[in-house]
A and B are shown apart, each in its own frame.
Chain A
């Protein structure tokens, strides 16, 4: 199932203070659930769906983030895909909900280094200080007009997801920022 994400990261994005890398392929699902069913679905699927908007749970292979009052995204390692496919197919059969496989809709960038927050702030006005944006927080927002999902994985690294067709655009934008500043 592996496919070529067709986004080459240029040399200039591999420095000590700032490294941008393309994440490998992931399994992703968009869930729209009724709030009354959430706890039952958590139990049925084994997913740790966070209760708070912008909250996220980070397991070894599976990350779940809550984007809106009834909307979650699940990002998992591809090895988990068969298991998740099966569990979520059962959920969509047993509950009134929407489960969509969006594995190939997004690509993920890993942005790491002391300048990571600085790079993101060029295109995104959120306050990325640790007290306003603690480790683990996941926010859907805009980066240079492209819709992104931004997750802080640790103090100096972020996971940024965007639609696949925006991938080359964001990559070029990162490269331009790094080479001109």
Chain B
């Protein structure tokens, strides 16, 4: 079974405790913006996603544990999690993702 690091519990927990919750960093338009935007823009917000191949920022939900949502960088090809981080933090930069990948590799090498 593979494990996912929950940034709130701060430990690795079995994957069955988690649920996928769509692409991350999609900001819902405010009520005012919604009333002003076209139907096309609204449908773009509602339904259109990047569906990226490779490393992807997405939301996960620790529904059987601490019940919190968090963000993760996951590779959609290999299903490997590069890093997870708390909700509300800005999108991770390439540099941060690279650094996380290096620490992960280092931890693996030492264990």
> Please, which residues of chain B bring their CB within 8 A of the CB of A125?
1, 14, 16
- Asked if B67 contacts A68 (CB within 8 A), the reply is yes
Interface of A is mostly: strand
A15 close to chain B: CB less than 8 A: no
**A102 beta carbon closer than 8 Å to chain B:** no
Interface residue count for A (Cβ, 8 Å)?
A: 13
Q: Is the beta-carbon distance between A141 and B66 smaller than 8 angstroms?
A: no
Which residues of the partner chain A approach B81 to less than 8 Å between Cβ atoms? none
Interface string of A103-147 (1 = CB under 8 A from B): 000000000000000000000011000000000000111100001
Taken together as a complex, chains A and B put the C-alpha atoms of A53 and B10 apart, in Å, by 9
Q: Which of B10-37 contact A (CB under 8 A)?
A: 10-11, 13-14, 16-17
B8 at the interface (CB under 8 A from A): yes
Instruction: Report A-chain residues with C-beta under 8 Å of the C-beta of B67.
Output: 67-68, 71
B16 with A68: CB separation less than 8 A: no
Query: Least Cβ distance of B81 to chain A in Å?
Result: 17
Taking a contact as CB atoms under 8 Å apart, the answer to whether A141 and B8 are in contact is: no
Question: Is B64 within 8 A of A140, CB to CB?
Answer: yes
Distance in angstroms between the alpha carbons of A54 and B68 in the assembled complex: 14
- In this complex, the interface size class of chain B, counting residues with CB under 8 Å from chain A, is 10 to 19
Report yes or no: B68 in contact with A141, Cβ–Cβ below 8 A. no
From residue 52 to 99 of chain B, which have CB atoms closer than 8 A to chain A?
A: 64-68
Determine if B16 and A142 form an interchain contact, defined as CB atoms under 8 angstroms apart. Answer: yes
Q: Does A69 contact B (CB under 8 A)?
A: yes
| B9 interface contact, C-beta 8 A | yes
**What residues of chain A lie closer than 8 Å to B13, measured between beta carbons?**
126, 141
Question: Looking at the complex, which one of B1, B10, B65 makes contact with A140 (CB distance below 8 Å)?
Answer: B65
- Which single member of A54, A71, A142 contacts B64 (CB below 8 Å)? A142
Q: Are A69 and B1 in contact (CB under 8 A)?
A: no
Which residues of B are found within 8 Å of A139, using beta-carbon distances?
Answer: 65
Chain A residues with Cβ below 8 Å from B17 are 141-142
B66 contacts A67, C-beta separation under 8 Å? yes
Residues of B within 8 A of A53 (CB): 8-10, 66
Q: Kindly list chain B residues whose C-beta atoms are within 8 Å of the C-beta of A147.
A: 64
Besides A68-B8, A125-B14, A140-B65, 18 other CB < 8 A contacts? A53-B8, A53-B9, A53-B66, A54-B9, A68-B66, A68-B68, A69-B8, A71-B66, A71-B67, A125-B16, A139-B65, A140-B66, A141-B13, A141-B14, A141-B64, A141-B65, A142-B17, A142-B64
- A-B contact list, 6 entries, CB within 8 Å: A68-B68, A125-B1, A139-B65, A141-B13, A141-B17, A147-B64
